[in-house]
Structure formats: structure tokens, C-alpha cells
């Protein structure tokens, strides 16, 4: 069948015409030979030649008609290509004008804002009573919030155009981010929401971190704005966790939690994917999701991964971790976690994010555990069948096979029936639905991110072999 199809594809009009001309020449030569040999009468010869002429005329007419059609199609295609080139140039000019407009708008807004902030600072230096000081402070934070929004618009425009580079410099995250969070604190209060933020750190540091403070703040501005915008009642919570040290690096994890409208599974899958177009799922009221998409790209640019856990009508948690280098020639105070295990226990950790792997590895090894990692649920099941583990820490949301499915698969193995290995679920948001699903899947316990060391110790004391615990 393929042979006949190949022959059919090779029968182009030009080939058919050449073949017909060849046959006509052969026929004319043959008729001439028969006429000379007097094997055919002249009247018959004339009729046959006339028939050949008619056939050739029809074939030529068909060929030239197709040739004209092909020429017309080629011309239309060339015209279409030229139109597309024109539209592309026009779109590029529009983008250039948009960038110029945003730059001009940013300048026009920043100028009076700077004057307002300057006057507010001068007003704070005058003799004000308590109520007046509070009013000036609110006006100052509101002005700073507006300035942050302007910065977000211009920075996002740069990100869309791909004109973004990281500018690493020593930063003091706690100082910088406290100012930023204070701005959003007033915005949340104006919307009738509770707002809290906290920094998890074991000791006062004697070093700074190298990072791009502006880009980190840009991501947080996008995420916190989004959280406040889609939370009607309840609370916005922000956690900055920098308790994990790795030689010359520090892992800093950020969690932005809200009690807002949340998202369904399909929205969660698509909202963080980088896109040049507005997401149709968010055209109604979420502004196209461009801020989230840009935040995803920025976090990726800084070496992390922005992740999301959400439940409809319960809220959302966005989180990401960055591995930042410490400044040189400094000494840090010891923050060694005291081990609670007399001997190493073997722990399987199913976690797809590399930075989160480093965090939990650091904490467990400090407590005396030995860690093996799986990048997804399917890999966790295969590792469990091959090696012996004392405890399994199972991230709920992973690619290929999630934590619930992996737990059910592990519990069906012959090894689990003998060992009954404890399985602990790990999630950035301890939604009631997540905890219920974990119990239904047969998971023994639950720990939320950011991981609390005391809670981790408690789990090890509960589930590690009793002979390995230091009493």
C-alpha cells in the first residue's frame, strides 16, 4: 500500500505532461513507420493523429490551468508573508511605544510622589500629637505602597521584554522586607484583613547575603498584592525562613499564605506557567495572571522555583526558596542543631524541588538521620522496594505521581506489609482537605512547610526506632 502511495505522490503534473509528450512522440513515429510500410491507410492515420492532437490540447490546457493556479497561490502566499512582516513590525513598534509610555508614566508619577514623601518626612519632624503622627504614618505608608505599585508595573514590563539581569549586592533581608511588609500591612487593614509577617532565624547573624533585593521584592509585591486582592475575609500571613545554613550559602524560603477565594486544580496547573498571552482562566477578574507568570520567571532566574498549593474557597499558599551566598571574610555564630538520634536512621524523602531537598536534608542530618531522595512519587515507590527505610517524608504535590498515590502504592507492596514503615506528609499549606486526604491515603502524620525543627524532632521521636532515640 505504501508503494502505491509513493508512486501517486511522484505523479506531479509536470511529470504526467512529460510522459504524455513522450508517448505521443512514440505514437507518431510508430504511425509514420506503419504508413511508410503501407500497413495503415491515410484516412485512418489522419483520424488517429487528429485524436492525438485533441488529447494533447486537453492535457496542455489542464497543465497550464494548474500552473496558473499554483502561481496565484504562490503570489497570495508571498503577499500574506509581506502582510505578516508588516504586522510584526507594527506589533514591535507598539511594544516599543508601550515601553516608552510606561517609562514616561513611571517618571511622571514618581516625581510628585517623591515630593509627597519628602513633605511627609518634614511634617514628621514637626511638633505633632499622637493622632497626627499616626495619620502622617498612614499617609507615608500609602504613598510608599503607590510607589511600589509603580515599580511593579515598570519592572514587570522589563520582565516581559526579557530585558532583565540580576544585580547581586550585599542585602539585609529582614530590614528591607520589614519596610515592604509594613506598606502592605496598612493596605490589608484598609481591606479589613489581618496581616502578619515573621522572620524565622536562629541567631543574630554576623554576615550579609548576596542577592538581588529589588527582584526578590518584586516577586513578593506581585504575590502579596495578589493575596490581598483575592482575600475578602481572614488573614494574610508571610513567613521568611532563613534557618538553614549550607557552608558558604544560606537557604531562604518565602511563604505567602491567604484565606481567599483559592483556585481549582485546572487553575493551579496553568497559573504559574510563563506565557506571552493573557490566561483565559483569569480574564474575568484576575488580570490575566501576568504578575504570577512574571514572578515564576523571576524566581527561576534567581535559581529557585515558585510553587503553589490552593483550595477553592479556602485560600492559597505561594512559596519559593533561594540559595544565597554569604559575604566573605565573616564569621557566623554557631547554630548547630543538637542530634536526637543515637544512630543514623535511613529516611526516604520524596520532594521534587531541589532547594527544598537541601532544607530538609540539612535539618534531618543535623538531628542524626541519613537521607535518600526521590524526585517524584513513582521514584519513591521504586526506591522503597529496593532499599530499607525507617521513615518516609512524602511531599503531597509532585509530578508524575503525587504523594497520595505514592503512599497507596507503597502500602500495597509486600515490604510494607512486613515493615509497616511510617509515612509523614509534607505540605506548604495544612488545609483541612489535605489532612483528610492524607488520612484517607493511609499517611500516618503531617508536617507543614516551613518545617519547624521542634515538630520535626517530635515526629522522629514518635516514629524512629526506639533504640535509636537519645533519652
Range ranked top by mean pLDDT from 84-98, 227-241, 267-281, 425-439: 227-241
The grid coordinates listed for 454 are 521542634
pLDDT at 334: 45
The average pLDDT across 102-122 equals 69
The residue among 304 and 1 whose pLDDT is bigger is: 304
pLDDT at 223: 92
According to DSSP, the β-strands at 209-211 and 345-350 are unpaired
pLDDT at 293: 78
| Inter-residue contact 227 to 187 (CB < 8 Å) | no
| Inter-residue contact 215 to 298 (CB < 8 Å) | yes
The average pLDDT across 386-396 equals 93
pLDDT at 139: 80
Neighbour count for residue 417 (Cβ, 10 Å) = 9
The average pLDDT across 13-42 equals 71
Query: pLDDT tens, 200-220?
Result: 987 666 778 899 888 898 899
pLDDT above 60 for 7? no
Q: What mean pLDDT value characterizes the chain? A: 79
The average pLDDT across 403-420 equals 93
Query: How far is 23 from 59, CA to CA, in rounded Å?
Result: 13
Q: 28-37, 216-225, 385-394: which has the minimum mean pLDDT? A: 28-37
Query: How far is 356 from 363, CA to CA, in rounded Å?
Result: 11
pLDDT above 90 for 410? yes
The average pLDDT across 224-247 equals 90
pLDDT band at 292 (very low <50, low <70, confident <90, very high): confident
For 281, the 3-state DSSP assignment is helix
Query: pLDDT tens, 311-355?
Result: 888 899 999 999 999 876 444 444 456 667 767 789 999 998 888
For 341, the 3-state DSSP assignment is strand
The grid coordinates listed for 17 are 505532461
| Sole residue written with cell 521584592 | 217
Beta bridge partners of 345: 369
Neighbour count for residue 363 (Cβ, 10 Å) = 19
Q: What angle do CA 148, 186, 130 make, to 5 degrees?
A: 120
Query: How far is 311 from 436, CA to CA, in rounded Å?
Result: 13
pLDDT above 80 for 440? yes
Kindly state the helix (H) or strand (E) to which residue 443 belongs, with its residue range: none
pLDDT at 416: 93
Query: pLDDT tens, 69-93?
Result: 777 888 888 888 887 887 777 776 6
Query: pLDDT tens, 277-288?
Result: 445 444 444 444
The residue among 102 and 107 whose pLDDT is bigger is: 102
pLDDT at 9: 52
Query: How far is 309 from 430, CA to CA, in rounded Å?
Result: 10
The residue among 3 and 443 whose pLDDT is bigger is: 443
- Among 458, 460, 466, which Cα is nearest to 369's? 460
**With b meaning 16 or more CB within 10 Å and e meaning fewer, what string describes 435-466?**
bebbeebebbbbbbbbbeeeebbebbeebbee
Instruction: Answer positive or negative: Cα dihedral of 381, 385, 386, 390.
Output: positive
The single-letter DSSP state of residue 413 is S
The residue among 54 and 217 whose pLDDT is bigger is: 217
Q: Quick one: what percent of the chain has pLDDT higher than 70?
A: 77
pLDDT at 284: 41
pLDDT at 64: 75
| Inter-residue contact 400 to 391 (CB < 8 Å) | no
pLDDT above 50 for 115? yes
Beta bridge partners of 200: 241
pLDDT at 336: 56
pLDDT at 332: 46
Tell whether pTM > 0.85: no
pLDDT at 331: 43
pLDDT band at 121 (very low <50, low <70, confident <90, very high): confident
- Residue ranges of alpha helices (H) inside 231-353 are 265-271, 290-301
Q: How far is CA 418 from CA 144, 333, 390, 411, 470, in A?
A: 61, 45, 13, 10, 26
Query: How far is 386 from 313, CA to CA, in rounded Å?
Result: 41
pLDDT at 286: 42
Amino acid at each position: 500500500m505504501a508503494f502505491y502511495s509513493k508512486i501517486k505522490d511522484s505523479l506531479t503534473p509536470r511529470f504526467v505532461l512529460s510522459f504524455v509528450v513522450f508517448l505521443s512522440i512514440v505514437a507518431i513515429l510508430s504511425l509514420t513507420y506503419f504508413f511508410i510500410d503501407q500497413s495503415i491507410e491515410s484516412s485512418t492515420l489522419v483520424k488517429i493523429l487528429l485524436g492525438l492532437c485533441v488529447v494533447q490540447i486537453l492535457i496542455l490546457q489542464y497543465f497550464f490551468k494548474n500552473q496558473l493556479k499554483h502561481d496565484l497561490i504562490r503570489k497570495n502566499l508571498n503577499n500574506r508573508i509581506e502582510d505578516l512582516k508588516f504586522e510584526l513590525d507594527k506589533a514591535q513598534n507598539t511594544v516599543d511605544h508601550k515601553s516608552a509610555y510606561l517609562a514616561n508614566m513611571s517618571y511622571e508619577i514618581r516625581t510628585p510622589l517623591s515630593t509627597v514623601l519628602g513633605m511627609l518626612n518634614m511634617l514628621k519632624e514637626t511638633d505633632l500629637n499622637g493622632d497626627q503622627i499616626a495619620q502622617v504614618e498612614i499617609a507615608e505608608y500609602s504613598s510608599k505602597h503607590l510607589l511600589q505599585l509603580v515599580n511593579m508595573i515598570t519592572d514587570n514590563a522589563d520582565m516581559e521584554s526579557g530585558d532583565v539581569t540580576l544585580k547581586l549586592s550585599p542585602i539585609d533581608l529582614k530590614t528591607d522586607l520589614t519596610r515592604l511588609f509594613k506598606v502592605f500591612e496598612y493596605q490589608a487593614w484598609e481591606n479589613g484583613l489581618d496581616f502578619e509577617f515573621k522572620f524565622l532565624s536562629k541567631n543574630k547573624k554576623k554576615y550579609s547575603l548576596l542577592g538581588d533585593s529589588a527582584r526578590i521584592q518584586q516577586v513578593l509585591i506581585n504575590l502579596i498584592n495578589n493575596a490581598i486582592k483575592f482575600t475578602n475575609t481572614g488573614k494574610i500571613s508571610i513567613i521568611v525562613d532563613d534557618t538553614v545554613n549550607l557552608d558558604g550559602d544560606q537557604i531562604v524560603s518565602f511563604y505567602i499564605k491567604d484565606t481567599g477565594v483559592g483556585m481549582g486544580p485546572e487553575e493551579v496547573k496553568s497559573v504559574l506557567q510563563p506565557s506571552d498571552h493573557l490566561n483565559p482562566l483569569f480574564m474575568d477578574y484576575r488580570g490575566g495572571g501576568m504578575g504570577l507568570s512574571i514572578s515564576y520567571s523571576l524566581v527561576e532566574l534567581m535559581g529557585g522555583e515558585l510553587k503553589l498549593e490552593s483550595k477553592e474557597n479556602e485560600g492559597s499558599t505561594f512559596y519559593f526558596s533561594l540559595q544565597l551566598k554569604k559575604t566573605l571574610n565573616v564569621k557566623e555564630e554557631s547554630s548547630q542543631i543538637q542530634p536526637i538520634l543515637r544512630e543514623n536512621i535511613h529516611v526516604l524523602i520524596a520532594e521534587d524541588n531541589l532547594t527544598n531537598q537541601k532544607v530538609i536534608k540539612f535539618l534531618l542530618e543535623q538531628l542524626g538521620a541519613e537521607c535518600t531522595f526521590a524526585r517524584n512519587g513513582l521514584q519513591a515507590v521504586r526506591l522503597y522496594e529496593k532499599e530499607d527505610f525507617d521513615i518516609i517524608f512524602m511531599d503531597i504535590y509532585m509530578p508524575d505521581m503525587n504523594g497520595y498515590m505514592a503512599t497507596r502504592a507503597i502500602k500495597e507492596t509486600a515490604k510494607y506489609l512486613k515493615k509497616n514503615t511510617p509515612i509523614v506528609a509534607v505540605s506548604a499549606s495544612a488545609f483541612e482537605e489535605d489532612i483528610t486526604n492524607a488520612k484517607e491515603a493511609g499517611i500516618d502524620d503531617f508536617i507543614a512547610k516551613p518545617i519547624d525543627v521542634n515538630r520535626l524532632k517530635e515526629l522522629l521521636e514518635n516514629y524512629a526506632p526506639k533504640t535509636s532515640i537519645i533519652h
